[in-house]
Amino acid sequence: MGRRGALIVFEGCDRAGKTTQCKMLVDALNKRNIRAEYMNFPDRSTAIGKIISDYLTKKIELPDKAVHLLFSANRWELEPIIRNKLASGVSLIVDRYSYSGVAFSAAKKGMDLKWCWNPEIGLPEPDAVLLLNLKEEVSSKRGGFGQERYEVSDFQRKVKSNYISLKTPLWQFIDADKTVEDLHQEILSTFNTIYKNSNGKPIQVLEE
């Protein structure tokens, strides 16, 4: 039996370059014969993901708590796949995870961090969470927000402060204010360390 894959999560506010960097990392690893795949949450392709997508594009309205549980259920429906892939040696580069789930929902009125974290307990814990950090002055120069729910500055500010509250030793803050290629090189070298350190360690689960 070979080694398990590493579970690496990317988090951060909109426009920090998460998706671009996740995909570049997967390509670079595959070129180096390290098996890796991209995953993203919400995964809008599943039955639950379709409801989430309708909510984000404002086609439907849902109570805050209900939609929070759908985002979480979207991770739980993929949990067996995550476990199988990691066990078979595939590293997963995940674009948003439970931390986005909590940081976004808890930015709403009447939603607290603890309540929001509860349904995440028991999901596979990442080997590392890379938070791509961008100062607001810089992110606002990267073009306007889209039309989806949550794409407004005030809300994103609350999300950012929630991310800070969720910080654990697994987190690594990465300054995203650099060229795409420089950021990629930094992430690649960070990955190498995480990959080495995760060898032989069983996957843990998210705890209270």
Q: Which residues of the shown chain bind ligand 2DT in the complex (CB under 6 A)?
A: 41-42, 56, 71, 96, 100-101, 104-105, 150
Contact 128, 9 (CB under 8 A): yes
Tokens of 140: 């606002």
Separation CA 202–CA 87 (nearest Å): 10
In the complex, which residue's CB is closest to ligand 2DT?
A: 101
Q: Kindly report the number of other CB atoms within 10 A of residue 201's CB atom.
A: 11
Indicate the residue among 78 and 187 with the shorter CB distance to ligand 2DT: 78
CB of 62 to ligand 2DT, least distance (A): 12
Indicate the residue among 4 and 78 with the shorter CB distance to ligand 2DT: 78
Indicate the residue among 104 and 163 with the shorter CB distance to ligand 2DT: 104
Indicate the residue among 59 and 196 with the shorter CB distance to ligand 2DT: 59
Contact 172, 126 (CB under 8 A): no
Q: Kindly report the number of other CB atoms within 10 A of residue 18's CB atom.
A: 23
CB of 124 to ligand 2DT, least distance (A): 15
